[in-house]
Structure formats: structure tokens, C-alpha cells
Amino acid sequence: MARRRQIFEGKAKVIFEGPEPGTIVQHFKDDASAFNAKKIGTITGKGVINNRISEHLMTKLGDIGIPTHFMRRLNMREQLVREVEIIPIEVVVRNIVAGSLAKRFGMPEGTPLPRSIIETYYKSSELDDPMINEEHITAFGWATPPELDEMMSLTLRINDFMSGLFLGVGIRLVDFKLEFGRLWEDDQMRIVLADEISPDNCRFWDTKTDEKMDKDRFRDDMGGVEEAYQEVARRLGILPESGPTDMKGPELMQ
């Protein structure tokens, strides 16, 4: 079998050319990085779990009418997605104070926010992803005002939907990061959700115990990283417990 052409290798994924024009394959690795790759490690099984979680969330978001790049999962570690032109902006949504927000403003982690805060960062590891606002985005031509409006309105819908979905399985969606892309169909362009949604780019806290169930366990050497990722998948009802036929529904919490 001919080897696929690798397009790009990132910190957590390898991107290959897809089988048809306009498609690409996302391969999820177990490699983990934090603090702009100053800390590097492995989370065994992470790639398999993130592939499943991202498939699940993108599919559910598609079901409520959010356009996404996701097409289908190919195997344990790979999914087929539409090739999009990635907009070089990281959109971060926050519902509860944590991480860099807590540091920047000296606020205690866990403070609920009276309304969700959306922040934007310029995707550049050389520059350490600097925070930017609408002025930078439009002045530097990273996105047009209508594109930005569309990204913001999709982000709010995604936040509402995901907050409810996770609350239903006993998980608080503290904050998360999204990326969007331009999907060209003939001469029409649509903004679609791209990249992945997983415990690598979300903060998840158990509603009862406030236990962290995300990459913060790796960032802060807390241990139990693999188990936390698995637990998120298990609660969503997508972790086979003894084999691929043993798929349970979501773990509804009272």
C-alpha cells in the first residue's frame, strides 16, 4: 500500500493527505505538551480517547447545526476531516476562573464568572500565542469582521451546548479552546469548527468533587492522567468497558 503523504506534524497530531481531494486525515498521538512545549511527555492511550471524544462532540455539535470539519472516524487513532484553511486564532471560552485568567488577575481558581468570557489568541508558538483583540484580528487581516462575528456566534452556541452536555454527566466545563477554518465549496466559503475538542484543550472538573479531569493533571504532575481522560470518555458513554460491543449510554448524574 502506498504511504500517505504527511502534511504536518504537530504536538498532539499528525496530519496526512486524505484519500480524496479536499480531505485530510488527523492522526491522534499519545504525545502531550504543555507550557508552549516546554514540558513534553506521553499520556498512554490519549490519542485513542481524544479521537473518540472529539468524534463524539463534533458529531453532536453537527446534530444541532454547527458546521464542523469532521467527516468520519477511520480507526482507533484517525479521523477523516475536510481540508479547511485554518484561521490563525485560538478562541478560548471561560465559564469559571482557572489557568492563565486566574494568574493574570490574581483571582482564585474556581470563581464562577457572571457571564462567559471569550478571549482570542494569535496562533504562533514562536510568539507564545499572544492575546489579541478584534482590532488586531481585522487590522492584520487574520479574519474579516463578518468572519469574526460568525466565529463568536458559533462559539457561544458551542459553549451552551457543551456546558449542558457535560453537566448531564457530572462534569463542569470550566474553559476550552476552539479553532475555526474556512471551508471552500465551489466559490462559496463557510466558517466551520476545526481541530479537535478533547481533555487536551478543555478544562473539566467533576461537579461533586471538583476533581480535575483534563490536561491540568499532566501540566501539574498530579498523576492519574490516563484515568482522567478515560473517565471523561466513560461518562460520555463512549468507552468500551470490555470490548467494542460493550458500549454503554451516557452516565447520567442526578
Q: Which residues bind ligand UDP (CB under 6 A)?
A: 90, 92, 98-101, 129, 175-177, 201-203, 215
- Secondary structure (H, E, C), 1-45: CCCCCEEEECCCEEEEECCCCCEEEEEECCEEEECCCCEEEECCC
Cell 456566534 identifies what position?
153
Dihedral, 193, 96, 121, 138 alpha carbons, nearest 10: 70
**CB of residue 20 vs ligand UDP: minimum separation in angstroms?**
29
Question: In terms of CB distance, is 79 or 120 closer to ligand UDP?
Answer: 120
Residue nearest to ligand UDP (CB): 99
Question: In terms of CB distance, is 19 or 130 closer to ligand UDP?
Answer: 130
Cell 511527555 identifies what position?
41
**CB of residue 199 vs ligand UDP: minimum separation in angstroms?**
8
Question: In terms of CB distance, is 92 or 169 closer to ligand UDP?
Answer: 92
Question: In terms of CB distance, is 69 or 215 closer to ligand UDP?
Answer: 215
**CB of residue 160 vs ligand UDP: minimum separation in angstroms?**
17
Q: Give the residues across from 94 on adjacent strands.
A: 117, 175
Q: C-alpha grid cell for residue 30?
A: 499519545
Question: In terms of CB distance, is 17 or 119 closer to ligand UDP?
Answer: 119
The pair phi, psi for residue 120, each rounded to 5°, is -125, 140
Angle at which helices 225-236 and 46-63 cross, to 10°: 30
The pair phi, psi for residue 8, each rounded to 5°, is -165, 145
Question: In terms of CB distance, is 71 or 118 closer to ligand UDP?
Answer: 118
Question: Is 113 within 8 Å of 97 (Cβ atoms)?
Answer: yes
**CB of residue 171 vs ligand UDP: minimum separation in angstroms?**
13
